[in-house]
Structure 1
Amino acid sequence: MSRGLKEACVFCGSEKVDGITRITGYFTKTSSWNAGKRGELKDRQRVEVN
């Protein structure tokens, strides 16, 4: 498990990865989203919160 959007596993290099996101208190797999919603996720700005 690691944070961020990855195309491959940072530990073993496998490309069989699935994203999980939290929306309104529920976790959901991004693989169940349509292509437009996944594209929107990739376009979002990410910032570090300290």
Structure 2
Amino acid sequence: MPPADRIDEVLATACTCLTRYGVRRTTMDDIAIEKGVSRAAIYPYVRNKEASF
């Protein structure tokens, strides 16, 4: 299981993107770019943008 602090970081980044772009326009790429990691690095924490929402 991934560390809780990393999950919190990813969810905070997802929240930023969801607020900025909206649920429909936010992509996993947006979240990864905002976090400064690859899209593949996000998936251990959230399976898709709906899960982050």
TM-score higher than 0.5 here?
no
Higher relative contact order (CA 8 A, sep 6+): 2
Greater per-residue helix proportion: 2
Q: With the length of structure 2 as denominator, give the TM-score of the two structures.
A: 0.26
For the pair shown, the structure with the greater C-alpha radius of gyration is 1
Greater per-residue strand proportion: 1
